[in-house]
Structure 1
Amino acid sequence: MRPIIIALDFKTGDEVYTFIDQFEHQDQLFVKVGMELFYFEGPKIIQALRQRGIHIFLDLKLYDIPNTVEQAMFQLGQQEVSMVTVHAAGGSEMIRAAKRGLVNGSQQAGVAPAKLLAVTQLTSTSEEQMQTEQLIPVTLKSSVVHYAQLAQSSGADGVISSALEDPMIHEATNDDFLCINPGIRLATDSADDQKRVVTPAKAADLGSNGLVVGRSITKAADPVAAYQTIAKEWGL
């Protein structure tokens, strides 16, 4: 698994379908549905994309008491998505509950369970912010590695992190533990609100297991050409 996941940061399904139609000849298309789109369209956007044969990363970053997260994941487990997220900061009990809900939901629907990914530190978070606003006194790298180990020991399949942290995470976990990386930009692109960004080629060198790419594709003059440029850098 080394997907390029296009972040569908659109407001409505109509905008999504207009965008996706440009990729009708692209095999194994993988997209991210985040909060803005899912909260407006609901599960019907997942169903519509699955009917087109598109793989889905449903990125809702659940963070609540274990029972609530378990019940929410039971519902998401029935949606036939490929990846879902929780916040690692929710703790081991919450992550284990998320995994139970996900597995039970997928069994209920007779579909393969999604990969459970834990968010370590957002790629928009700097070390200074983490230390002053979250009152976490260690380095950003130490925090990320700690959350990755916690997620792995609690049953998660991988983490969402900056590609810059992939080597440390792989060293602290194992080869099967996934590092899926947002904050990906082509060298000519603006970093926007991301703090810890890398190019697709650099992410490949660092051992990334998958890229999440938004504006570098969705805001490009030619999104398909931008996707193909990223795929070439990524080694596909």
Structure 2
Amino acid sequence: MLASAISPRDRMIVALDLPSVKEARAMVDGLGDTVSFYKIGMELTYSGGLPLARELVREGKKVFLDLKLHDIPNTVTRATAQVAELGATFLTVHAYQQTMRAAVAGLGGSKLRLLAVTVLTSYDDADLREAGFALSVRDLVIKRSLQARECGIDGIVLSAEEAEALRPIVGPDVLLVTPGIRPSGFELADQKRVMTPGRAIAAGVDYLVIGRPVTQAKDPKAAAEALLAEIEQAAA
């Protein structure tokens, strides 16, 4: 899908990285029609987030299940098939070839789209060296992204810092999805590779995952509206 075919509102994915379904439900209700797309990660999933995912889909929202699957092929295939039954739009898997192929096999005829996690945005080159990788973040992202495309994966999760270099390599049809989006002046916390929404769009990113700048704001709806306005302006 070309970025021009994605509505600005759908390009903003709010991460419900909250400790309970009650808090997540309250956040969704408070954001109302401002937000159409939500990410449910491991923390919320383990506290009952999958039924919430079904609810959001029934309400016309889009859901990104950020589960980062990685296991033996049979387990990944069957888990992917279960997620497809929920009606989610996106599911993440780790960008190992065996895992990616297994996830693709679990899609069946569903509309679920798979995203490969290349290198977590909390990692930098030093972290990779400590973990035993010889490649830099940039080189590992490129290598895994090309492998993901060959495996039939729909998109890549990566830092916006790598997006500009990666877009001409993977072509226009591979979705680029970026966490670690921060408005100017917002604290980085545990993220090391971050970018503002406007710069991310200019770098070729399709979807922007935004968590704390919305969910920890004094007025989450106003914060989401301001971010959406920046995305709309950058995408125009």
Q: Counterpart in 2 of 1:166?
A: 163
Q: CA RMSD in A?
A: 1.3
Does 1:60 pair with 2:67? yes
Q: How many residues end up aligned between the 2 structures?
A: 225
Does 1:96 pair with 2:101? yes
Rounded to whole Å, the distance in 2 between the matches of 1:191 and 1:233 is 19
| Amino acid in structure 1 at the alignment position of 2:157 | I
1:234 corresponds to which of 210, 231, 236: 231
Rounded to whole Å, the distance in 1 between the matches of 2:112 and 2:33 is 25
Contact 1:87 1:120 in 2 (8 A): yes
| Amino acid in structure 2 at the alignment position of 1:125 | Y
| Amino acid in structure 1 at the alignment position of 2:203 | L
Per-residue Cα deviation, 1:139-172 (whole angstroms, up to 9, x for no partner): 2100100010011100100110001111222122
TM-aligned CA deviation for residue 44 of structure 1: 1.1
Q: Counterpart in 2 of 1:79?
A: 86
Q: 1:209 to 1:191 in 2, by over 3 A?
A: same
Rounded to whole Å, the distance in 2 between the matches of 1:30 and 1:56 is 6
| The 10-residue stretch of structure 1 (43-52 or 213-222) with the greater mean CA deviation from structure 2 | 43-52
Rounded to whole Å, the distance in 2 between the matches of 1:171 and 1:165 is 11
Per-residue Cα deviation, 1:180-207 (whole angstroms, up to 9, x for no partner): 0000001021001000000001101101
Structure with higher RCO (Cα < 8 A, 6+ apart): 2
SS of 1:159 mapped into structure 2: strand
Contact 2:21 2:49 in 1 (8 A): no
- TM-score w.r.t. the length of structure 2 is 0.91
Q: Counterpart in 2 of 1:214?
A: 211
In percent, how many aligned pairs have the same letter?
A: 36
Per-residue Cα deviation, 1:61-109 (whole angstroms, up to 9, x for no partner): 0011111100110111111000000000xx32321110110x22xx4xx
Q: Counterpart in 2 of 1:147?
A: 144
- TM-score w.r.t. the length of structure 1 is 0.91
Contact 1:87 1:118 in 2 (8 A): yes
Rounded to whole Å, the distance in 1 between the matches of 2:14 and 2:200 is 16
2:201 corresponds to which of 204, 209, 214: 204
Rounded to whole Å, the distance in 2 between the matches of 1:164 and 1:171 is 14
Rounded to whole Å, the distance in 2 between the matches of 1:25 and 1:235 is 16
Contact 1:93 1:154 in 2 (8 A): no
Structure 1: gaps spanning 5 or more residues = none
Does 1:11 pair with 2:16? no
| The 10-residue stretch of structure 1 (176-185 or 36-45) with the greater mean CA deviation from structure 2 | 36-45
Contact 2:177 2:209 in 1 (8 A): yes
| Amino acid in structure 1 at the alignment position of 2:89 | S
Rounded to whole Å, the distance in 2 between the matches of 1:78 and 1:127 is 38
